[in-house]
Structure 1
Amino acid sequence: MTSSYLFENIQILENAGSSLKRETVLIKNGVLKAFGRKALQNAELLGIKPQKAKNMLIAPCLVDPHSFLESPFNGKEENIYSLIEKATFSGYGQLGILPRSDSWRDQIESIIALKTIKSDVLIHLWGGFSLGGEGVALSKHSELLQNGAIGLCDDDFMPPIELLKKGFSLGEMKNYPVLFAPRDKTLQAGGMSREGVYTLRAGWPPDPVESEIIPLIQLLELHKQYPEIAVRLMNISTADGVSILKNASSNPMATILWWHLVNDNSSLSPFDIGWSVTPSLGSPRDRASLIQGLKDDVLTAISVHSTPIDDSETKLPANKRKKGISCYNLVLPLLWDQLIRKSGWEVEKLWKKISFGPSKFLNQAEEKLSLNSNRWLLFDPDKEWYQSNEEKHLTSATNQPIKDKKIIGKVIDCGLINQACQND
């Protein structure tokens, strides 16, 4: 795919410190070449004619702080190559990959194997905090970090507090981030949806709010005892959780699963794929608090937290199948609809939560628009399309929500697509 554009008066967001503006831009063969008058002059020499910009936006690539890739080389539902292609078609330039895998990334060999992949999409690997994610014995933290891990994490629930104290006391992670999910599986007790009237009405087993609150309080207390540790919190999901974070004396960075911003347990049909997520879907009050917590910077970043599964797993009943949804292409369109159209956010604020904030969360350089770079995305907020498994940029993972429904807003192009397609 070769992308060449001349847009006059298109919306542009250059970087984290800039404001949205309208400007002329020239892109040649997927590379950002010029702005303003220079763009017009160069386009005339190259024979590139202007296109109507309408409400389209050119902005830095998006960043996902954490998702799963359990079979990076042999996965039929997802592998590293299909993931890169899926991400680029959706405008993502950086992906954080969690350690849960058919070969847990608690050994340097599993880190090094993935670091050999050549891609303009930057792959950031979280190393396993404990061996096998079992929460019994610590992995060799310093070895993982010295050989390419960007930080440490366990699974999507909190390990035993004694193990955390042991790891924090050793302090081998230094300034690297350590990521934990404030979720207690025992307290959750198989609950599918956050307890409340909508869960009762839908007939799902309830997930008590304490399954998040108790481990969250423990993690915050531990952070107070070890303030030098760069603690990160994975996917806050309740109004009570936001309130506790807002009033906490320690202020660790925290993510929120994108799906929790666009849906709650009052708005789904009983058969919707979106019920089966971790953490459990909350109430309308939870969703409103999460949106406000993001706006007030109590929450740092929005995660995709993709968990691809194949058709045989997807067809199981919601309370029997593996938890999670898989999609990158829906994230920006649905967040644009919820946060910009409905909640009145500015574009700059949205990009802070889906690009610049996630980079900080990962301790990585922020995305930005630069001349002679292919790190850009083109988004049309008015483009109408239908979500379908047949689209080229989607994989055989079938746990994708909102199938065969009209979506408004789409990533039209991304400079990284050229490089991704060459790897096909």
Structure 2
Amino acid sequence: MTNSELLQQVRVIDPVSGTDQIADVLIANGTIEAVEENISKLPSKTSVRDCRGLVLGPGLVDLYSHSGEPGFEERETLPSLIQAARSGGFTRVAILPNTTPPLDNPAGLARLQRLAGDITDKLSVPPPLYFWGAITLGVQGQQMTELAELADSGIVGFTDGQPLQNLALVRRLLEYLKTLSKPIALWPEYRELAGNGVMREGINSIRLGLPGNPSISETAALAALLEVVEAVGTPVHIMRVSTGRSVQLIWEAKVRGLPITASTTWMHLLLDTEAISSYNTSLRLSPPLGSPADRAALKRGVQQGIIDAIAIDHTPYSYEEKTVAFGEAPPGAIGLELALPLLWQNLVETGEWSALELWRVLSTQPAVCLKQIPAAIAPGQPAEVILFDPQLTWKVQKQNLKSLSYNTPWLGQDLIGRVIVGVRG
């Protein structure tokens, strides 16, 4: 096995330096040794890979996704989650705490960290799993966890991954967490306003005969949350932004100098309520898909930096759980293996976004939101990189997915673009 590899004439996309260029890249012992127009002088026993037509970019970073393990291993185990992440180009994945039991105490967190460590030690290029610590006991939104103890347990940050309904509790949490210097992610939604809605309220929900969830369930909660953030001053990451009005509220808050970042999910950029006419239960999401105007506003918001990052929110469910009526299906879809090729084909190949813009919000900016150092493609940097073939065609089938679940509206379809190898120094 060689210790060094030359990637010849690969398209290098590096948001940290803002470069998109064709170059030779030499990697040795897990470190990027050189990035030059042409590298002719090589160490002995260097393997050479012709990378014409391929893209080399920093590993992708996922802000929040779900693990089936512990509690629902039939949906996803930690090994299958890691393999799905690797297959999709993700070198860092942050896991939400609503496992069974939830990650609301240091002992439970330590058990899962040990299990993840045992698995990743057996892999040659494992993406590290990071774990969010729960803000409230049982992620029930009622009583604070031992926040200081969790902060010392190696968590990436704090979130329940569920909307908090008690604003007085939110205020106390932000006051307490201000001194702990960990990322805090909150999902604004008022469940009473959402009611039993299973898709975004509007002309399409009426046409399809499905209960509607009004956009104010999100925007009213977001407006209230922003008031609390402004009063307390604790930085907050706003999860799962799904409406155009929310984009406007976030922009206005950033103009006022509020310490916030925000993310939307990849599916909310690609699909809207018009897609739900198929009644495919993999389109049952929470928050629900927005209107076409919402989707357009979200895309603009990401391009303009109002929305800082794209999250995957990988949510696996078994075939049996999703094979029910649309309104009865649990919300969520898988995405770790699908996000990059679909976003690339629908946004980059169409010329709507540049490759740098997409990579920035899938890699660099999510790392910044997690208060991590982004990976970069430069001499002396760890080789936390992936190779992506934007023209490779493959079919989304159970046997072609590393995830144990296959709840996706793209099941059975041909996709163009796939990660072919990942490296982490």
TM-score with structure 1 setting the length:
0.90
Identify which range, 259-268 or 140-149, moves more after superposition: 259-268
Distance 1:100 1:191 in 2: 22
Which of 300, 304, 307 pairs up with 1:299? 307
Offset of residue 200 of structure 1: 1.9
Q: Is the 8 A contact 1:141 1:172 kept in 2?
A: no
Offset of residue 79 of structure 1: 1.4
Per-residue displacement from partner, 1:343-363 (whole Å, max 9, x unpaired)?
A: 532222111110111011111
Distance 1:177 1:47 in 2: 41
Residues 142 and 10 (structure 1 numbering): CA distance in 2 closer, same or farther, change over 3 Å?
same
Does 2:133 match 1:127?
A: yes
1:142-221 alignment to 2 at 5 Å?
A: 142-171=148-177, 174-221=180-227
Give the letter for the 2:406 counterpart: T
Q: Give the secondary-structure state (helix, strand or coil) at the position aligned to 2:392.
A: strand
What residue in structure 1 maps to residue 372 of structure 2?
364
Offset of residue 173 of structure 1: 5.1
Offset of residue 275 of structure 1: 2.0
1:10-159 alignment to 2 at 5 Å?
A: 10-26=10-26, 34-36=34-36, 39-42=39-42, 45-46=44-45, 48-51=47-50, 53-54=52-53, 56-72=54-70, 75-116=73-114, 117-118=116-117, 119=120, 120-159=126-165
Which of 259, 268, 276 pairs up with 2:267? 259
Distance 1:303 1:372 in 2: 25
Q: C-alpha root-mean-square deviation of aligned residues, in Å?
A: 2.4
| Runs of 5+ consecutive residues of structure 1 not aligned to the other structure | 420-424
Per-residue displacement from partner, 1:140-159 (whole Å, max 9, x unpaired)?
A: 11000011112111233233
Residues 24 and 317 (structure 1 numbering): CA distance in 2 closer, same or farther, change over 3 Å?
same
Does 2:199 match 1:223?
A: no
Give the letter for the 2:52 counterpart: A
Distance 2:223 2:22 in 1: 45
Give the letter for the 1:255 counterpart: S
Distance 2:285 2:111 in 1: 29
What residue in structure 2 maps to residue 318 of structure 1?
326
Offset of residue 329 of structure 1: 1.2
Offset of residue 319 of structure 1: 1.3
Q: Is the 8 A contact 2:59 2:385 kept in 1?
A: yes
Q: Give the secondary-structure state (helix, strand or coil) at the position aligned to 1:342.
A: coil
Q: Is the 8 A contact 1:24 1:40 kept in 2?
A: no
Distance 1:328 1:169 in 2: 34
Does 2:274 match 1:270?
A: no
Identify which range, 3-12 or 199-208, moves more after superposition: 3-12
Offset of residue 202 of structure 1: 2.3
Per-residue displacement from partner, 1:161-188 (whole Å, max 9, x unpaired)?
A: 1111222233465321211101112211
Distance 1:92 1:276 in 2: 24
Residues 50 and 153 (structure 1 numbering): CA distance in 2 closer, same or farther, change over 3 Å?
closer
Give the letter for the 1:237 counterpart: S
The percent identity for this pair of structures is 26
Which of 382, 400, 405 pairs up with 2:391? 382
Q: Give the secondary-structure state (helix, strand or coil) at the position aligned to 1:285.
A: helix
Give the letter for the 2:109 counterpart: I
Per-residue displacement from partner, 1:222-247 (whole Å, max 9, x unpaired)?
A: 000111x1211111000111111112
Give the letter for the 1:53 counterpart: R
Give the letter for the 1:77 counterpart: R
Residues 307 and 52 (structure 1 numbering): CA distance in 2 closer, same or farther, change over 3 Å?
closer
Q: Give the secondary-structure state (helix, strand or coil) at the position aligned to 2:364.
A: helix
Q: Is the 8 A contact 1:2 1:29 kept in 2?
A: no
Q: Give the secondary-structure state (helix, strand or coil) at the position aligned to 1:327.
A: coil
Distance 1:207 1:51 in 2: 51
Per-residue displacement from partner, 1:14-39 (whole Å, max 9, x unpaired)?
A: 45123111101245798755443784
Distance 2:272 2:171 in 1: 35
Q: How many pairs align?
A: 413
Q: Is the 8 A contact 2:71 2:99 kept in 1?
A: no
Q: Is the 8 A contact 2:281 2:325 kept in 1?
A: no
Offset of residue 300 of structure 1: 0.8
TM-score with structure 2 setting the length:
0.90
Residues 342 and 200 (structure 1 numbering): CA distance in 2 closer, same or farther, change over 3 Å?
farther
Give the letter for the 1:318 counterpart: F
Does 2:242 match 1:237?
A: yes
Q: Is the 8 A contact 2:23 2:38 kept in 1?
A: no
Per-residue displacement from partner, 1:91-143 (whole Å, max 9, x unpaired)?
A: 10111111101111110012212222333422221111111111111101100
Distance 1:52 1:368 in 2: 19
Per-residue displacement from partner, 1:262-303 (whole Å, max 9, x unpaired)?
A: 111113442323321111111110000000001111101100
Q: Give the secondary-structure state (helix, strand or coil) at the position aligned to 1:414.
A: strand
Distance 1:173 1:128 in 2: 17
Distance 2:4 2:52 in 1: 14
| Runs of 5+ consecutive residues of structure 2 not aligned to the other structure | 121-125
Which of 388, 411, 414 pairs up with 2:422? 414
Q: Is the 8 A contact 2:159 2:185 kept in 1?
A: yes
Distance 1:31 1:387 in 2: 33
